[in-house]
Chain A
Amino acid sequence: MILKTKQLSKSFGGLKAINKVDFELPKNEIRGIIGPNGSGKSTFFNLVSGIYDSDPGSYIEFDGHDITFAPPHEIATYGLSRTFQLLRLYQDMTVIDNVMSGYHTRVPYKFFDAVIGRKKIWDQERAIKEEMMELLSFVGLADYAELNASELSGGQRRLLVLARAIAMKPKLLMLDEPAAGLSPVNVDNLMKIIMQLKEKYGLTLIIIEHILKVVMDTCNSVTVFDHGQKIAEGTPAQVKDDNAVIEAYLGKKMDDEEMRKALAV
């Protein structure tokens, strides 16, 4: 198990955004998380990556480390990387700087060496830059390396965010709606790149996605959230036929008698 949560809860005032979720994820799996808007998917990500503090009684374990109370930067050093639904691109930095800032946890030199400006530093910096340029050309952004991130198109921004999250060579990559707002062709392209990256770096993936086709086609298993609770888990085929899931997404299945009653009122 690379990620494990027990009784994970988070409430905002009276609202229980996440309510006692037990979640387990084996290595090398691609897990999809689906659920209607406001069902707690993104909150789950924020809790795991340490951006929110979870309520008392929760427990989160990542790769053997207890990260329940760890701050986000510490969790990142254990090898957990994530993207954001609203991208949070570094708009005023160049594309290459964006990707290189994702490398932070792997920077080999100490601060003091950087102040002195020894030759070693510049060698290592160049090596980092080369590696990151490779990554950029892998996702197809090498030509834009020196432009500001704000000058990229929507699809390119999604690729850049992906590259930035990969730069730290994570063990677990959590993608929050990676394909939101992309055209079908671009979605296919993006998923292809994500699969290639998974193979290349041996990643474990969690993907939140509203495009069900993407989830059903690529994920090994799917977890469904509704009102902060985990209502179903299993292979895509199992989840598709689960009554609770259909209810959450489409409404309840009714027999004729119930339907008549409902319409009469």
Chain B
Amino acid sequence: MEKFKSIIRDYPFIAFIIAFVILAFVPSLVFTDVYQSHLATLIFVNIVVAAGLNIVKGYCGQVTVGHVGLFAVGSYTAGTLFLYLGLGFWATLPIAIIVTAFFGVAMGIPSFRLEGPYLALATLGGGEAIRLFIENGNFFRSTFGISDIPTPSLMGYNFDSPDRYYFISMTIMIIAVYFSFSILRSGVGRAFMSIREDPICAAAAGINVKKYKILAFILSAMFAGAAGAVYAHMPPGYIHPNNYTVIEMVTFLAMVVLGGLGHIWGGIIGAIVITIVYDLTRPLYKYQLLIFGLTIVLTILFMPKGLGGFIDRYFLEKRFKKKTGTEKTT
């Protein structure tokens, strides 16, 4: 067991391969109908977005409310590339990631001068502007949405149904989560955190604050772009501007806040919980925003570090007691 632990420590991707294998067997062993596969794909898409949002908001501390705009950029890059050039998933995914990264730069530039609620307003404007641009341009087929975006196929095998597409979304999710883990556990993650806590002190400690802020925005935009492309190609392959409103933004925020801002698992836990709750409360769609708004407020009031921080805290106090023999209370 010790040996296994040290192997995982040196080569963390082995843990992700194990997770991949386990998740690969879930549909055939656990799921009872196709809808559950569809739901799982949605969860994976949301995990990718939330993991990216956790980088910029949770770690770097830049309050961005325009992330859904970047998600839309990812989706619509994929959608329009299919519509006008007929490109398939394997071409649209990387292009969507790159294009969204550029939009991330634009979204990040206000953060040089603005912070807190003012940055939130600026990015909210940015996100809404992207949505309105898509909604009012005939180029993007705003009225009816873009439909029949094809599912990917690999070596003759077409991932054309939800239970097949599950594997595509899962693979992307595992890769994205692996990248987010390696980034956040390295010195880069620490630099992000120092900027969140105190930009002036971070600068004095040798961290190039502007560079790292933009880096955080680019990275999270790339995550959002990948998620957007996966979402666009998800069967039945239909996207519409109405899927990228502030309501979606609130759910993304609720995911990160509930999972734990600045916790490495934060976005992932939150995305799983919120997506399932979102699905279960569909009959109460009038009250969904109320539920998620309330979730954010209550989590910040009673669990400022979210579920992830809450669980961490429990184990930390246990360890501290064992080490020093004293109770640590705050």
Contacts and interface: CB of A to CB of B under 8 A. Distances in A.
Interface stretch (A19-27, A71-79, A190-198, A241-249): A71-79
B94 to A, nearest CB: 16
A92 B309 CA distance: 11
A101 B191 contact: yes
A119 interface: yes
Contacts of A91: 197
A115 B182 contact: yes
Interface in B277-330: 316, 319-320, 323-324, 328, 330
B167 interface: no
A143 B183 contact: no
Contacts of A71: 203, 208
B36 to A, nearest CB: 31
Interface in B148-205: 178-179, 181-183, 185-188, 190-191, 193-194, 196-198, 200-205
Interface stretch (B9-17, B18-26, B42-50, B235-243): B9-17
Interface centre among B193, B197, B205 (most CB of A within 10 A): B205
A97 B188 contact: no
Contacts of A50: 203-204
A107 interface: yes
A84 B197 CA distance: 14
A259 interface: no
A117 B178 contact: yes
Nearest to B326: A143
Contacts of A34: none
B95 interface: no
B187 A164 contact: no
A51 B209 contact: no
B97 to A, nearest CB: 13
A151 interface: yes
A85 to B, nearest CB: 12
A101 B209 CA distance: 13
A260 interface: no
Interface centre among B181, B198, B316, B324 (most CB of A within 10 A): B198
B206 interface: yes
Given A146-B316, A146-B320, A90 B201 contact: yes
B105 interface: no
Interface string A98-118: 001111110101010011110
Contacts of A121: 182, 186
Contacts of B194: 90, 93, 101, 104
Contacts of A122: 9-10, 12
B207 A104 contact: yes
A231 B12 CA distance: 60
B321 to A, nearest CB: 12
A210 B95 CA distance: 60
Question: DSSP class of B's interface residues: helix, strand, loop or mixed?
Answer: helix
Given A90-B194, A100-B190, A77 B319 contact: no
Contacts of A164: 205
A104 B13 contact: no
A97 B183 contact: no
Chain B interface size band reads 35 or more
B205 A116 contact: no
A147 to B, nearest CB: 7
Nearest to B192: A101
B266 interface: no
A84 B194 CA distance: 15
Nearest to B261: A92
Interface string B192-234: 0110111011111111110000010000000000000000000
Given A101-B191, A101-B193, A84 B201 contact: yes
A91 B201 CA distance: 12
Nearest to B208: A73
A114 B188 contact: yes
A77 B206 contact: yes
Given A117-B181, A117-B186, 17 more contacts: A51-B203, A71-B203, A72-B204, A73-B207, A76-B203, A76-B204, A82-B204, A90-B198, A101-B193, A101-B207, A107-B187, A111-B188, A114-B188, A119-B10, A122-B9, A122-B12, A125-B186
Interface of B: 9-13, 178-179, 181-183, 185-188, 190-191, 193-194, 196-198, 200-209, 215, 262, 316, 319-320, 323-324, 328, 330
11 contacts: A51-B203, A72-B204, A73-B207, A91-B197, A92-B196, A100-B190, A101-B194, A105-B205, A111-B215, A117-B178, A123-B10
